[in-house]
C-alpha cells in the first residue's frame, strides 16, 4: 500500500495534466483563421485553426470518407498534404506505406490545422454531396440481411458509377458515426439509393439500418469509390461475391445488362448454406432474358437435408472451373472478406486477368 | 527490478509472432475444413506486423530505439491457443477467428505495458503504432467473422 499510494497520486497528476493541456489547447490556444488550398487552387477554404483537417473539410462540404468518426482506426481518410500538416503521427503509420509517407499522404483525422495547409485529393471527392432521403422500402432477404431503399429528398438526384458506395450517418452513444455501404441500385435510378446490409451483433451501422422503418429520414454522403466499368462492350465482366458482399456486384451486373443486353457477364456468389442465399431468383430471371449472363451460386456447407442443386465448395473454386484462361479483355469486380478476395485474385491472375482490370471492395 | 531494453520486448513479440505463424501453418495443414485452411493460410501470411513496423524506421533510428531501456519488464503474452485450448482438427472458422482475436488482444496488452511506462517519445511512437496495427487487425478479424463466409 505504501508504494501504491504515491504511484496512484503520480498517475492521477499525469492524467490531470494531460486533461488540462487538452482543455487549454481547445479554449486558450487560438490558431486564428487558417487557409486550406485544395488541389492547387481548385478550392480555397478559410477555416478555424485548431480542428482536424477532416472536420475542417467536412465543414466546408468536402466529404472525405471515414468510418471511425475521426478516431484514427479505419485509415480511410487519406489525403496528400503538400505543406503545413506537421509530422506524421504514430497513430497514422500503421495505415500508410513508406511510399505513401514519402508522397505526403496523411490521415485527415490526425492532422491538426494549425497553419495554412496545401492538400491534394482525388477530383471525385469534390463531387461528393450530403444527401437526405426517406426510407421508401425495407425487404428482408435472409434471416440477417435486409435491403433498404432510400428515396432521395435533398438533393433529389445522385450521379454514381456502378460499384460506388455511400457513407450512411448512424447515431451512436459517441455521436454520429459514418458507415460505408455499397450502392446496389444502378446509376439509371438517379432518384433513389438501395443498400444491402447484414446485421452484425453490436454493429452500430447495421443495427441502425435493421431498425429503420419506412418513412424514416436518413442522411448520407456519397458517392465514393474507384470501381470503373469498362465501356467496351466486347470486354467480358466477371463479378465475384461472398458472404454479404453483394451490393456493388448487383449494381455492376444490372448496369451491364441495362446498357449492353448482349454483353458477356458472369456472376459468381458464394455463401455457406441455403439460408444465406439471396437474389438468386432475380438473377436467374435476368439470365433467361440475357443469354450471355451466367449466374453461379456455390454453397460451402449445404445442409444435408436441403434440396440444393447448385454448386458446392468455395466460390474461387467455381471460378476456377468455369473461367477459361485467355488474354482477351476482361474486367473483374469482387466483394467479400479479404481471404476470399485473395483466393479469387489468385485464380483470376492464373486465368490471365490483368491486375489493373481487377477491382475489389473488402467486406 | 529487472531492467530490459526495447529490443528485449521486441524479441519477445517477434518470437510470439513466429510461434503464431507456425501455429497457423499447422492449422492450415491439419484442418479438415477448407474454410479454416483458407483462413489460417491468410492469417499466417499477414501476421508479421512487427517487422513491418520496424521496416518503417530508418536503420539508425531503429538501432537507437531498440537500445532504449524500459524500467519494468512486460509480462509476456499468455495465449490459450498455445496450451490449454489447442484447436481440434475440425474446429470451425469462428473458433479460429476467436483465437486470432484473443492473440491480437494479448499483443495489444504487451505493447500497452510499455506505453504505461516513462519511456522516450520515439519508443512511445513505435509502440503506439504497434497497438494501432493490432487493433486494426482485430477489427478486420471481427468483420471477417461477421461476413459468416468461412
Q: What is the DSSP string of A145-188?
A: EEEEEEEEEESS-----TT-EEEEEEEETTEEEEEEEE--S-TT
Segment A294-319 shows an average pLDDT of 93
| Phi, psi torsion values for A336, nearest 5 degrees | 165, -170
pLDDT at A340 over 90: yes
**What's the pLDDT at B30?**
85
| Site from A87, A90, A275 to mutate, B interface, most B CB atoms within 10 angstroms | A90
User: Which among A344, A127, A92, A109 is positioned nearest to A225, based on CA atoms?
Assistant: A127
A186 contacts A227 by C-beta, under 8 angstroms:
no
CA A169, A171, A175 angle in degrees (round to 5)?
100
What is the arrangement of strands in the sheet containing A358-362, beginning at the earlier edge strand?
A311-312, A293-299, A265-271, A236-242, A330-336, A358-362
- 8 Å CB contact of A94 and B53: yes
Determine contact: B3 vs chain A, CB below 8 A: no
Chain B segment 80-109 residues within 8 A of A by beta carbon are: none
State which fold the A236-362 domain adopts: Rossmann fold (3.40.50)
If one looks up domain A128-224 in CATH, what number appears?
Answer: 2.40.30.10
Residues 6+ apart with CB under 8 A from B61: B122
The alpha-helical segments, DSSP class H, found in chain A are: 4-27, 53-59, 98-102, 204-210, 247-259, 280-289, 315-322, 338-350
Kindly report which listed range (A63-72, A151-160, A339-348, B80-89) carries the lowest average pLDDT score.
B80-89
* Cβ of residue B132 closer than 8 Å to a chain A Cβ: yes
Query: Is the complex ipTM higher than 0.85?
Result: no
Domain ranges of chain A: 31-125, 128-224, 236-362
CATH superfamily of A31-125: Beta-grasp domain (3.10.20.30)
Is the distance from CB of B46 to CB of B9 less than 8 angstroms?
Answer: no
Assigned C-alpha cell, A22: 487538452
Phi then psi for residue A15, to 5 deg, are -60, -45
All structural domains of chain B, each given as residue ranges with its CATH number in brackets, are 4-147 (1.20.1260.10)
> By mean pLDDT, which of A96-100, A144-148, A247-251 is the weakest?
A96-100
Per the DSSP assignment, residues forming a β-bridge with A47 are A34
Q: Quote the pTM value.
A: 0.83
* Range B121-142 average pLDDT: 88
**Per-residue pLDDT tens digits for A54-99:** 999 999 999 999 877 777 888 889 999 999 989 998 888 888 888 8
C-alpha cell read off for A131: 444527401
pLDDT exceeds cutoff 90 at A20: no
Does B126 touch chain A if contact means CB atoms closer than 8 Å? yes
Residue B62 has pLDDT above 90, yes or no: no
Contact with chain A for residue B48, Cβ under 8 A: no
Helical segments of B67-120, H only: 93-115
CB contact under 8 A, B129 and A200: no
> Which candidate from A90, A245, A271 shows the least CB-CB separation from B125?
A90
The pLDDT value recorded for residue A18 is: 66
Which of A198, A242, A276 is opposite residue B146, by nearest beta carbon? A198
Amino acid at each position: 500500500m505504501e508504494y501504491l499510494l504515491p504511484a496512484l497520486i503520480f498517475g492521477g497528476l499525469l492524467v490531470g495534466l494531460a486533461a488540462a493541456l487538452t482543455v487549454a489547447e481547445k479554449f486558450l490556444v487560438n490558431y486564428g483563421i487558417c487557409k486550406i488550398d485544395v488541389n492547387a487552387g481548385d478550392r480555397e477554404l478559410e477555416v478555424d485553426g485548431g480542428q482536424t483537417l477532416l472536420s475542417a473539410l467536412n465543414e466546408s462540404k468536402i466529404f472525405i470518407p471515414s468510418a471511425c468518426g475521426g478516431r484514427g482506426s479505419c485509415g480511410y481518410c487519406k489525403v496528400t498534404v503538400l505543406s503545413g500538416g506537421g509530422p506524421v503521427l504514430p497513430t497514422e503509420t500503421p495505415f500508410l506505406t513508406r511510399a505513401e509517407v514519402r508522397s505526403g499522404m496523411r490521415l485527415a483525422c490526425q492532422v491538426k490545422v494549425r497553419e495554412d495547409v496545401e492538400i491534394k485529393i482525388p477530383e471525385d471527392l469534390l463531387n461528393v454531396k450530403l444527401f437526405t432521403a426517406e426510407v421508401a422500402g425495407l425487404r428482408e432477404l435472409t434471416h440477417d440481411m435486409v435491403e433498404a431503399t432510400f428515396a432521395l429528398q435533398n438533393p433529389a438526384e445522385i450521379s454514381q458509377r456502378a460499384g460506388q458506395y455511400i457513407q450512411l450517418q448512424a447515431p451512436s452513444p459517441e455521436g454520429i458515426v459514418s458507415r460505408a455501404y455499397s450502392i446496389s441500385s444502378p446509376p439509371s435510378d438517379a432518384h433513389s439509393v438501395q443498400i444491402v446490409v447484414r446485421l452484425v451483433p453490436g454493429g452500430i451501422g447495421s443495427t441502425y439500418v435493421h431498425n429503420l422503418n419506412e418513412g424514416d429520414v436518413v442522411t448520407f454522403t456519397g458517392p465514393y469509390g474507384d470501381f470503373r466499368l469498362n465501356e467496351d462492350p466486347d470486354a467480358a465482366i466477371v463479378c465475384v461475391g461472398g458472404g454479404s458482399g453483394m451490393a456493388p456486384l448487383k449494381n455492376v451486373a444490372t448496369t451491364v445488362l441495362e446498357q449492353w443486353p448482349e454483353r458477356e457477364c458472369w456472376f459468381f456468389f458464394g455463401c455457406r448454406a441455403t439460408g444465406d442465399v439471396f437474389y438468386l431468383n432475380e438473377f436467374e430471371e435476368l439470365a433467361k432474358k440475357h443469354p450471355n449472363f451466367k449466374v453461379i451460386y456455390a454453397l460451402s456447407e449445404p445442409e444435408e437435408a436441403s434440396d440444393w442443386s447448385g454448386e458446392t465448395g468455395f466460390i474461387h473454386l467455381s471460378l476456377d472451373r468455369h473461367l477459361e484462361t485467355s488474354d482477351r479483355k476482361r474486367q473483374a469486380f469482387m466483394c467479400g472478406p479479404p481471404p476470399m478476395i485473395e483466393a479469387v485474385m489468385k485464380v483470376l491472375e492464373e486465368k490471365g486477368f490483368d491486375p489493373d482490370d481487377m477491382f475489389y471492395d473488402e467486406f | 527490478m529487472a531492467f530490459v531494453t526495447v529490443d528485449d520486448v521486441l524479441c519477445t513479440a517477434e518470437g510470439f509472432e513466429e510461434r503464431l505463424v507456425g501455429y497457423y501453418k499447422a492449422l492450415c495443414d491439419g484442418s479438415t475444413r477448407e474454410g479454416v485452411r483458407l483462413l489460417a493460410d491468410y492469417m499466417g501470411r499477414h501476421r508479421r506486423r512487427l517487422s513491418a513496423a520496424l521496416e518503417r524506421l530508418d536503420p539508425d533510428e531503429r538501432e537507437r530505439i531498440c537500445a532504449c531501456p524500459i524500467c519494468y519488464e512486460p509480462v509476456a503474452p499468455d495465449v490459450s491457443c498455445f496450451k490449454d485450448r489447442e484447436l481440434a482438427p475440425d474446429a470451425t472458422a469462428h473458433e479460429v477467428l476467436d483465437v486470432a482475436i484473443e492473440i491480437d488482444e494479448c499483443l495489444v496488452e504487451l505493447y500497452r505495458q510499455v506505453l504505461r511506462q516513462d519511456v522516450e517519445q520515439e519508443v512511445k511512437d513505435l509502440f503506439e503504432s504497434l497497438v494501432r496495427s493490432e487493433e486494426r487487425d482485430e477489427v478486420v478479424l471481427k468483420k471477417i467473422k461477421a461476413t459468416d463466409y468461412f
